[in-house]
Amino acid sequence: MRYRRATVAGASYFFTLVTFRRQPLFGGGKAVELFNEALRSVQARRPFTVDALVLLPDHVHAIWTLPDDDHDYATRWRRVKETFTRAYARDHRLPEPDIGRRARGERTVWQRRYWEHLIRDDRDFVAHVEYIHYNPVRHGLVAAPRDWPYSTFGQWVAYGLYEATWGADEIPQLPAWAGRE
């Protein structure tokens, strides 16, 4: 069976990207900084809006909205992954690639594929934003979303879209699909 991705120009998409063998690359600030630089670099050449984002030690969740006349998130993610990988590999030793990866010239930073979901409506958008912002708590990394520094949660609080205490005292009602990333 051939996998087909949803491609709708100007749409918003939810993504999950996982590191190779779930290596905890994003446990420290330098890798996070390199990822954010890669994202900004690609954004400068191929514009898109990052609506929500969280970097966890071994995976990334994001919601992007593409320009009205554009549906090509795949090239953008490829370039983000390539740019990050080149920068990260300069200062870090990577696991040896298997024969298949070596034959394709692939490094061992990211899993090959990623998950994408076309956001269908406002309710779906909010559910995915909340999932992203609550994810560090779900993984036991912090007690409240405000405590995780590698997330857009603080920006959403600054915009007045969340209270700073959201998700601290009470578990938000997440959709049934939550946790199947």
d(CA 87, CA 62): 21
pLDDT value at residue 57: 96
Burial of 2 (0-12, 13-18, 19+ CB in 10 A): exposed
Burial of 91 (0-12, 13-18, 19+ CB in 10 A): exposed
pLDDT value at residue 3: 60
Domain architecture of the chain: domains with CATH: 12-125 (3.30.70.1290)
Averages of pLDDT over runs of 10 residues in the chain (181 residues) are 75 95 86 96 98 97 97 96 90 69 68 90 94 95 96 97 92 74 53
* pLDDT, tens digit (0-9, with 9 covering 90-100), for 63-77: 999 999 999 999 999
Q: For residue 174, is it left (φ>0), alpha (ψ between -120 and 50) or beta?
A: beta
Considering only CA atoms, which of 150, 155, 126 is closest in space to residue 139? 150
Average pLDDT, rounded, for the chain? 89
150 in active site:
yes
pTM for the whole thing? 0.90
Q: Which is catalytic among the residues 73, 131, 150, 162?
A: 150
Supply angle C-alpha 159, 162, 166, rounded to 5.
150
pLDDT value at residue 113: 84
